[in-house]
Amino acid sequence: MVALADTEDLQAVMRRQMETSDLERAPRLLDIASQRVRTFTGLEFTLATSTVTLRVRNRKVRLPQRPVVSVTGVTDINGNTVSYEWDGLQIIDLASTPINSFEINMWRGGLKTVKATYEHGWASIPEDVVGIVCDMVAAALDSPPEDVGVQSETLGPFSMSVGTQFPGGVRLTQSMKDALANYGTHVGTANVS
């Protein structure tokens, strides 16, 4: 999957000039940071077309990725076309008036799942998402890999160091999670009445 930011974006937020070693590590760290953002939000962000199988609830389904750009088709699990109305956001309403005997019989048997094909994502990644990915990588680049996750405490003549290793030192902090909260999505279907 494509990283949500590139090395040019990263250089723009760095407080120093990137060194050769930074440029070598940056693409992998950008991939890791992008995946952490995608995992946290449940969104892909990049413009894509997906076909997903969704459970029908109250003759409606909720598309899992946002923003939805267009819905190109809905079928049952056997590939038969199903009539639908898209609300322009995330909900596909399957309760439109049946136009043939197949659709009338389909509703009598109870349509449990459908396959929806739709386009979703942003043409350009939102600036705040790019900024968060770059902040994560910049912090990782400013910490030597051998010191990642190390926390030290000193009390008089005593010193203690503990910590855990994170791949590449890329961390999604609580303040970053708070900033990404508006992008969160519900996975699966919704009870919509």
pLDDT digits (tens, 9 = 90+) for 33-77: 999 999 999 999 999 999 999 999 989 999 999 999 999 999 998
* Contact (Cβ atoms closer than 8 angstroms) between residue 133 and residue 34: yes
Binned at pLDDT 50, 70 and 90, residue 8 comes out as very high
What is the dihedral sign for C-alpha 136, 138, 144, 147? Answer: negative
Q: And the tokens for 106?
A: 């389909």
Does the model's pTM come out above 0.85? no
| Residue 57, C-beta contacts closer than 8 angstroms, at least 6 positions apart | 189, 190, 191, 192
List of E strands, the chain: 48-55, 60-62, 68-75, 85-86, 91-93, 113-120, 150-155, 158-163
Binned at pLDDT 50, 70 and 90, residue 157 comes out as confident
Q: How far apart are CA 51 and CA 120, in angstroms?
A: 11
